Structure 1
Amino acid sequence: MMTPLGARAERPVTVFAAASLKSALDELATAYAGPVQISYGGSSTLARQIQHGAPADLFISANTAWMDVLEQEGLIVTASRRTLLTNQLVLIAGPDVNGDLAIEPGFDLAGALGQNHLAMALVEAVPAGIYGAAALRSLGIWEQVTPSVAQTDNVRAALMLVALGEAPYGIVYATDAAASPEVRIVGTFPATSHPPIRYPAALVTGASLAPAQVFLDYLSTSEAAEVFRKHGFGLPEDGA
């Protein structure tokens, strides 16, 4: 027997979001009045899934480049696009790593690694990895550490390698470091050493636009801002 239309559950808003947003978005989705289903991953992976027709309503990327690609292909609603958040890039150490490193031009990260690995998201595809490689190049040590880099599909996987002690050091967002008590921040990379970290959000063309627009607007409220800030994100108006 068919379920009466009035009794059918509202279809969830399907969000494709950068993995670094997980802690904050999970909290916001729980507090939100309507159903939300969130798929997390590297921004590059999610963007390619949208290119291949994955049923996303809303895309939140960890950099502007992948959003630009989708916009150029007509796969997002341009008028809905906004910069939602900002972030910082940090060097983290695992639970068994002692000592400090000053992040400065030419600092001896390669020496600190020894025969061990530096955990990073994919350096040619995932925003956290792209930012991290740019920072290491800017500081003049990329060539020295490249042989030691262990690349992961997304930034949360890089965080996990360090948290589990499988890599002594890693490069992640400040918000990822805040989400794991097993790691500590060694230092923050200078903002001038990498492109600005911006999280654009936009509706996906052809999606269930009305519910998705309501959820996107909710993510721009003062209530959501409080949650994002609690998890370490900055907002565009902060001037970061």
Structure 2
Amino acid sequence: MLTRSLTAVCLAALLATPATLYADQITVFAAASMTNALGEIETAFEAETGHDLAISYAGSSALARQIQQGAPADIFISANPGWMDALEEDGLLAEGTRRDLVTNDLVLIATGDAEAMEIEALPEALGDDRLAMALVDAVPAGIYGKASLTHLGLWDTLAPQVAQADNVRAALALVALGEAPYGIVYATDAVAEERVSVVATFPADSHPPIVYPMAMIADHNTGRNTEAAAEFMLYLGGETAREAFAAQGFGTPADN
């Protein structure tokens, strides 16, 4: 459910439009881990409204930097609060539109059909092979993974064997293709890929909470589609979107 402040902002934007809303394109910058869920939501939203969604998927860090450089995004969905905080500090978010959309879990995956294991056994199981992770100092999935391994006392041992990928879906692909036997991704990524199996889930207290905030980008950065973007923000809080997120393994923030 949308917060009252966000609902008010979105409704105000909608009421400012003519009585009959026209079809428009909405540009969404979204974390790569949202690819499957948003793909399903995109199809339903376009069929119901006639609007066109143009969704760019990448690591949250890359997307945030593009917005900082003036990329014409209407909505940004980040895989962690940090990059959204950076845009807010720069005055790039439309006031009152930010909210937490979904939550996620961090898991250890293996190529093929593998048995469950203790995370502490990973160094021995890995041997001389590589551990696939998203960029550990920039991409949220990599940041969370490094934090968790550090908390568990494994980072110093495993760091030399980490194969860093540009985003979490690229790390997932390394494991799916057998180029790395193990990887750290979100639970939702594992659901989307039949060629990998989840062998362990990282303790929730071993890393910061995995929360995906979203917000509309301020008018001076996009200058278009405010009404249509507001409509999509409301749609993301509705039943169709919630079902799509749940089917992919996303959770609901406590304040929603």
Length-normalised TM-score, structure 1: 0.91
Once the two structures are superposed, residues 149-200 of structure 1 have per-residue CA deviations (whole angstroms, 9 ceiling, x without a partner) of 0001100000000000000000000000000000000011000000000000
Moved over 4 A (4+): none
Take 1:175 and 1:102, find their aligned partners in 2: how far apart are those partners? Answer: 20
In structure 2, distance between residues paired with 1:65 and 1:237 = 19
Are the counterparts in 1 of residues 32 and 168 from structure 2 also a CA contact under 8 Å?
A: yes
Q: Give me the whole-angstrom Cα distance separating, in 1, the residues matched to 2:146 and 2:95.
A: 30
Give the direction of change, closer, same or farther, for the CA distance of 1:179–1:67 in structure 2 (3 Å limit). Answer: same
1:230 aligns with 2:247: yes
> Residue 237 of structure 1 aligns to a residue in which SS?
coil
Percent identity of paired positions between Structure 1 and Structure 2? 57
* Corresponding residue of 1:14: 27
Match of 1:177 in 2: 190
Instruction: Measure, in 2, the Cα distance between the counterparts of 1:41 and 1:82.
Output: 20
Separation of aligned partners in 1, 2:76 and 2:185: 21
CA deviation after TM superposition for structure 1 residue 100, in Å:
3.6
Q: What CA deviation, in whole Å up to 9, does each residue of 1:76-126 have, x standing for no partner?
A: 11300000000000000002x7444213xxx13122111111000000000
Equivalent position amino acid for 1:38 in 2: I
Task: Find the aligned partners of 2:156 and 2:178 in 1 and give their Cα distance.
Answer: 24
Q: Does structure 1 retain, via aligned residues, the 8 Å contact 2:41–2:240? A: no
Matches of residues 20-39 of structure 1 in structure 2 within 5 Å?
20-32=33-45, 33=49, 34-39=51-56
Using structure 2 for the length normalisation, give the TM-score: 0.86
Of 72, 85, 91, 1:68 maps to 85
1:44 aligned residue = 61
Secondary structure of the equivalent of 2:33? helix
SS in 1 for 2:96: helix
Distance 1:155 1:68 in 2: 21
Residue 135, structure 1, aligned to residue 151, structure 2: no
The answer to whether 1:94 aligns with 2:107 is no
What is the alpha-carbon distance in structure 2 between the residues aligned to residue 232 and residue 98 of structure 1? 20
Kindly tell me: are residues 116 and 238 of structure 1, through their superposed partners in 2, closer, same or farther at Cα, counting changes over 3 Å? farther
Separation (CA, whole Å) in 2 of partners of 1:111 and 1:203: 46
2:178 is the alignment partner of 1:165: yes
RMSD: 1.4
Aligned length: 227
Q: Could you say what secondary structure the match of 2:249 adopts?
A: coil
3-state SS of the aligned residue for 2:93? coil
Deviation for aligned residue 1:12: 1.1
Higher deviation after alignment, 20-29 or 220-229: 220-229
Say which SS state the counterpart of residue 192 (structure 1) adopts. helix
Equivalent position of 1:217 in the other structure: 234
More divergent stretch after superposition (194-203 vs 208-217): 208-217
- Alpha-carbon distance in 2 for matches of 1:232, 1:238: 18
**C-alpha distance in structure 2 between counterparts of 1:98 and 1:65, whole Å:** 34
Which has the higher mean CA deviation after the structures are superposed, 200-209 or 188-197?
A: 200-209
Moved more, 29-38 or 188-197: 29-38
Offset, 1:22:
0.2
